[in-house]
Structure 1
Amino acid sequence: MGDAASRELISLADDEGNSVTVDVLGRTPGWSAGLDAEIVVRTPFVSGRIGLVLSASKLESWGTGLTRLDAGEDVVWMEWDRGPSIFIQLTGERGCPEVVVEDESGSMVTVRVPLVPPDDWIADHRQRLREVMEHWVPVPSTQ
């Protein structure tokens, strides 16, 4: 497995130049179970990034979110947590899917990014999640 593939947990983009990614940067210093990551938003109008820390439980909840998205439900990932939240709305305000990144507890900024992901995006993101989990999440010892 390539290191680059294991680092990009979420990558949603369209042909209009809109994208939202979540990149795993490495282990959190001082907490072996934490992963430093960042959400990166890019559009022709606005771009930005915000750091966050991922844990195994947050990664597992992303897996649950992918199952719900596959069933046609909207998802909120990391809501009510310290730090940013990601909302994925399958039919947004403009009649197409939208990714909303909200940083209510920090900058108090919300960015809404309309985009149409490719047809196989959920399967692709399940594979990305597996790769991140295999690469970064330690296997519990059986002692």
Structure 2
Amino acid sequence: MRELGGAVMAEDPIDLIRLEGDGNSVILRITGKEERKRPTEADALVGEFLVDTPFVRGALKTWVFPEDLRQWQQALDSLDAGQDIAWREGKRAPWLFIELDEDDDRCQVTIKDSSMSMTTVTVTVPLADAWFDDAYRRLDLVWETWHMAD
């Protein structure tokens, strides 16, 4: 790891969220950890949402806090149980919605940025059962790599 402008950077970024297929992708890539100066503030992970389709491509910087990681775990559990999810809804951060298509192994992934760009993008991607094992592994890897305190 190295330090760069107050943020601790890992040698390799980690994709906390990776939904892709059929030429479309939505990724939340964690690129470092930002240590807060005040002891009352939690450290945050630095990352960016990456959206790539044949029609639209974009990136949006974000910060991920320990509470966000715990809520992502709960969202994964709900999604795995067949429920649509909303992650970070109502926060001053990009929101992520995943709506399952009951007829096939696909989902609608929506990223909504209500605070900066005022933009919403929805992408359709496949969502196979094997994706869940990988998603839980990615979450564990982020916890282990960045040693986030509660």
* TM-score, normalised with respect to structure 2: 0.82
Q: Give 1 or 2: higher strand fraction.
A: 2
Whether 1:9 aligns to 2:9 is no
Q: Is the 8 A contact 1:12 1:19 kept in 2?
A: yes
Q: 1:14-71 CA distances to partner (integer Å, 9 max, x unpaired)?
A: 1x21000000010125456111111000000000010111111100100000000011
- Seq. identity, %: 35
Whether 1:40 and 2:47 are equivalent positions in the alignment is no
Q: Which sections of structure 2, spanning at least 5 residues, go unmatched?
A: 1-9
Q: Give unmatched runs, 5+ long, in structure 1.
A: none
Aligned partners of 2:148, 2:56: CA distance in 1, in Å? 36
Which structure's relative contact order is higher, taking Cα pairs within 8 Å and 6+ residues apart?
Answer: 1
- Of 70, 73, 90, which residue of structure 2 is paired with 1:60? 70
- 1:110 CA drift (Å): 0.5
Instruction: Give the RMSD, CA atoms, in angstroms.
Output: 2.3
Q: Number of aligned residue pairs: give it.
A: 136
- Assess if the C-alpha contact under 8 Å between 2:94 and 2:112 holds in 1: yes
1:78, 1:86 within 8 Å by CA — same for their partners in 2?
Answer: yes
Structure 1 residue runs of 4 or more that deviate by more than 6 Å after TM superposition: none
Give a deviation string over 1:69-128, Cα, whole Å, max 9, x none. Answer: 011000011111102100000128xx9411000001211110000111333111110010
Report the AA paired with residue 8 of structure 1.
Answer: D
